[in-house]
């Protein structure tokens, strides 16, 4: 849907004047520092006004990942699949539901792409390294403040399409930044980092948090019932999280990992952890059970640092854990970094 068609549809459904609407669109472009086109801004305004312009290949105009915003709908992106995460299952209204996720990189940034029940057949046919063209997706912000691309029944996903060539997209810059290692003594708040360290402490405490099985947002009990702001009273899904300390020989730092990352550090699936906790009636038992196996384990953490005002220290929240380290690859990367530094 082109710009003029979007304008006509908004005017028809909302009765606003063309002058007022175009003023809103221009204000949105200024608000976003001219990072979106007029069509993109019109798309955002349509979403804010509740005008459904789905069912079109609006996103034939490709949007860069770095420019995505939580209010966007009918978005199209192209990118290369860098990671594929395990499928999660949950029950809703007595029926088993599934959700899958993967990460894509388009040369401007990374984003997680989320697939729900109707699109799982597509998800299962995607492999790491595939090129994707995604049409008519919508954008959400997850509970960690990160942008996610969600696939709906209106979305189209093209796997390795003939008309998409990623050879002209430089994804090496983002990948290299994500792989640049840093010593713990150099860490400051609000950094995207990669560190290699050994787990030297594992905190024994409740290792689960509750989320809404539909939107995956964190929920807490209120008078014995779990309520989601979007979906009302729900039966929560338990997710795994752990807190631990790593040491890289220069210093140590507290880290937190959630879900799949927590499974990698702990060496247990969420299902196994739940079974252990329930059988011992202790939500901290999975940590006690795995303590001896985890302490001394060497891992690579890709993540973001943040300041903990309670402890007055900087901590790491992981977004990717590597628990099986390819030391030949790590040595090669160190060699490349040294060679690059020598040239500069």
Between 170 and 33, name the one with better pLDDT: 33
- The conformation of residue 108, written as its DSSP 8-state character, comes to S
Give the alpha-carbon dihedral of 279, 285, 288, 290, to 10 degrees.
60
All structural domains of the chain: 1-53 (no CATH), 54-171 (2.40.50.140), 180-343 (2.40.50.140)
Please state the rounded mean pLDDT for residues 97-106: 87
Q: How far is CA 82 from CA 113, 121, 145, 158, 166, in A?
A: 11, 19, 20, 16, 13
Global pTM reads 0.51
d(CA 114, CA 133): 14
Highest mean pLDDT among 160-169, 271-280, 334-343: 271-280
DSSP class per residue in 169-211: S--HHHHHHHH-B--GGG--SS-EEEEEEEEEEE--S--EEEE
Q: Which residues pair with 241 in a beta bridge?
A: 258
Q: Which residues contact 131 (CB under 8 A, 6 or more apart)?
A: 78, 79, 80, 81, 159, 160, 161, 164, 166
Q: Token pair of 261, please?
A: 């990352």
Q: Are 280 and 272 in contact (CB under 8 A)?
A: no
* Banded pLDDT at 24 (limits 50, 70, 90): confident
pLDDT of 56 strictly over 70: no
- Return d(Cα 101, Cα 108) in angstroms, integer: 20
> Alpha-carbon torsion 144, 149, 152, 157, what sign?
negative
**Closest by CA position to 244, among listed 298, 283, 193:** 298
* Partners of 22 in the β-ladder: none
Q: Measuring CA to CA, which residue among 250, 292, 240, 249 is closest to residue 270? A: 240
Q: What is the torsional sign of CA 307, 310, 313, 317?
A: negative
Q: Does pLDDT of 32 surpass 60? A: yes
Contacts of 317 (CB under 8 A, 6+ apart): 144, 255, 256, 257, 258, 303, 304, 305, 306
Confidence band, pLDDT 50/70/90 cuts, at residue 61 = confident
Q: Say how far apart CA 10 and CA 50 lie, in whole Å.
A: 9
Please list the residues that pair with 286 across neighbouring strands.
none
Dihedral Cα 286, 289, 293, 297, nearest 10 deg: 30
234 vs 190, residue with greater confidence: 234
Average pLDDT for 90-113: 83
* Euclidean distance between CA atoms 169 and 118, whole angstroms: 30
pLDDT at position 2: 65
Q: How confident is the model at residue 278 (pLDDT cuts 50, 70, 90)?
A: very high
């Amino acid at each position: 849907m082109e710009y003029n068609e979007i304008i006509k549809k908004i005017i028809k459904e909302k009765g606003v004047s063309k002058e007022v609407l175009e003023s809103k669109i221009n204000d949105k472009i200024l608000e976003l520092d001219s990072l979106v086109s007029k069509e993109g801004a019109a798309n955002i305004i349509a979403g804010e006004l509740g005008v459904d312009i789905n069912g079109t290949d609006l996103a034939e105009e490709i949007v860069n990942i770095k420019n995505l915003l939580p209010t966007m709908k009918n978005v199209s992106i192209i990118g290369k699949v860098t990671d594929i995460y395990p499928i999660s299952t949950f029950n809703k209204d007595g029926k088993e539901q599934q959700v899958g996720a993967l990460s894509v990189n388009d040369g401007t940034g990374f984003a997680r792409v989320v697939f729900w029940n109707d699109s799982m057949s597509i998800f299962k046919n995607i492999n790491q390294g595939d090129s994707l063209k995604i049409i008519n997706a919508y954008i959400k912000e997850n509970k960690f403040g990160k942008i996610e691309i969600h696939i709906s029944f209106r979305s189209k996903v093209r796997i390795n399409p003939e008309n998409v060539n990623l050879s002209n997209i430089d994804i090496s810059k983002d990948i290299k930044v994500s792989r640049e290692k840093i010593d713990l003594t150099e860490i400051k708040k609000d950094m995207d980092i990669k560190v290699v360290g050994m787990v030297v402490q594992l905190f024994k405490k409740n290792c689960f948090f509750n989320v809404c099985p539909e939107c995956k947002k964190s929920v807490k009990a209120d008078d014995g019932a779990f309520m989601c702001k979007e979906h009302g009273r729900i039966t929560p899904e338990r997710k795994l999280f752990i807190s631990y300390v790593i040491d890289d020989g220069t210093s140590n730092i507290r880290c937190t990992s959630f879900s799949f990352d927590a499974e990698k550090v702990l060496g247990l699936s969420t299902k196994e952890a739940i079974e252990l906790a329930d059988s011992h009636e202790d939500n901290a038992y999975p940590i006690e059970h795995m303590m001896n196996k985890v302490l001394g384990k060497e891992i690579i953490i890709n993540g973001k640092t943040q300041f903990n005002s309670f402890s007055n220290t900087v901590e790491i929240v992981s977004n990717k854990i590597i628990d099986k380290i390819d030391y030949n690859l790590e040595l090669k990367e160190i060699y490349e970094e040294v060679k690059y530094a020598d040239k500069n």
